Amino acid sequence: MEDKQPAQPAGVPDTSSGVAVLDRAFAILGAFGPTDERLSLTELSRRTDLYKSTVLRLLAALEHGGYIRKLDDGQYAIGPQPLRLAAIYQRSFRVGPVIEPLLEQVSRELGETSSFYVRQGDQRLVLYRVEPARAVRVSIGVGDAFPIDRGASGKLLRAFTEPGDERWSEVRARLWAASYGERDAETASASVPVFGATGELVGALTLSGPKQRLAAAPTMYAAVATLLKVARQATAVLGGNGARYDQCIAQLSMEQVMASGAMDPRETG
């Protein structure tokens, strides 16, 4: 009997490597969602659209390599090897020692969740994050991936990785983007770019919080002002041109004055 192939969700591009056994192994690892601490053989078979016999063989190989753990109750969980690779992946960006202290600073000063996103295809990946010590907050985890077409960080990442797209010209000019309830109806966020030594985009420095706290014009402008100053510092430390932020920070200061009247940042994009 021929093995079934992993089902391809509607609207998702084919990501086949051309090596069937690897694709099936990746499908098993990909079957675990952010909230799945353990899955049964039956559930893994259902999610991957593979026969149980095939899943069982692949699980044994993945367990041998440290990618899967078999639990005492017969269910399966992710093993330690992906964590090791994730740490290597983070280090490959060489921005952690610069970014993480600044995220701590931003979260402490503004009292909201700060994070650093990078683009991975059609998704934005949380590379680092710091959450504030308050009960009501936006909770995201390192390694979480979200659609690139939603949220402030998505706009920001698209603006600087799709330079020919005129939809993002304003974001590129002012060096920030905001969103109000795009990914989550109760969440607002702001995002600014961090650049490297050659002017390349390193990632998106982002602040997220409940809309009831962050969406008000004075609060949002203050958040963006802080993010721009911190991004300027990060870019300079990484060898980039921090001065490129100066005009945007000055312009934002003028907008903050105007926002004290009736202007709402949602009206500016």
Query: Would you say residue 214 has pLDDT above 80?
Result: yes
The pLDDT confidence band at residue 2, using thresholds 50, 70 and 90, is very low
User: Are the C-beta atoms of 177 and 159 separated by less than 8 Å?
Assistant: yes
Q: Which of 6-10, 61-65, 237-241 has the lowest mean pLDDT?
A: 6-10
Query: Would you say residue 96 has pLDDT above 90?
Result: no
Q: What mean pLDDT is reported for the chain?
A: 86
Write down the pLDDT at residue 84. 86
Query: Would you say residue 8 has pLDDT above 80?
Result: no
% of the chain exceeding 90 in pLDDT: 61
The domain segmentation of the chain, as residue ranges, is 20-79, 92-268
The pLDDT confidence band at residue 198, using thresholds 50, 70 and 90, is confident
Separation between Cα atoms, residue 188 and residue 158, nearest integer Å: 18
Where on the phi/psi map is residue 66: left (φ > 0), alpha (ψ -120 to 50), or beta? left
User: What confidence tens digit (pLDDT) does each residue in 140-167 have?
Assistant: 768 788 899 989 999 999 999 998 899 9
Query: Would you say residue 33 has pLDDT above 90?
Result: no
Separation between Cα atoms, residue 24 and residue 3, nearest integer Å: 10
Write the CATH number of the domain with boundaries 92-268. 3.30.450.40
CA angle 105, 110, 111 (to 5 degrees): 95
User: What confidence tens digit (pLDDT) does each residue in 115-137 have?
Assistant: 999 999 999 999 999 988 655 55
The pLDDT confidence band at residue 269, using thresholds 50, 70 and 90, is very low
User: Are the C-beta atoms of 245 and 173 separated by less than 8 Å?
Assistant: no
Model confidence pTM above 0.75: no
Neighbours of 162 (CB within 10 A): 14
Please count the CA atoms within 13 angstroms of the CA of 87 that sit on its side-chain side.
4
**Residue 96: what are its φ and ψ, rounded to 5°?**
-55, -50
- CA nearest to 20, candidates 50, 41, 64, 60: 50
Dihedral angle sign, alpha carbons of residues 34, 37, 39, 44: positive
Query: Would you say residue 93 has pLDDT above 70?
Result: no
Q: What is the mean pLDDT of residues 72-78?
A: 96
Q: Could you tell me which residue, 50 or 83, shows the higher pLDDT? A: 50
Contacts of 129 (CB under 8 A, 6+ apart): 103, 113, 114, 115, 116, 140, 141, 142
Query: Would you say residue 138 has pLDDT above 70?
Result: no
The pLDDT confidence band at residue 12, using thresholds 50, 70 and 90, is very low
- CA nearest to 114, candidates 168, 176, 192, 173: 192
Write the CATH number of the domain with boundaries 20-79. 1.10.10.10
Separation between Cα atoms, residue 119 and residue 93, nearest integer Å: 12
Q: Could you tell me which residue, 53 or 34, shows the higher pLDDT? A: 53
User: What confidence tens digit (pLDDT) does each residue in 42-64 have?
Assistant: 999 999 999 999 999 999 999 99
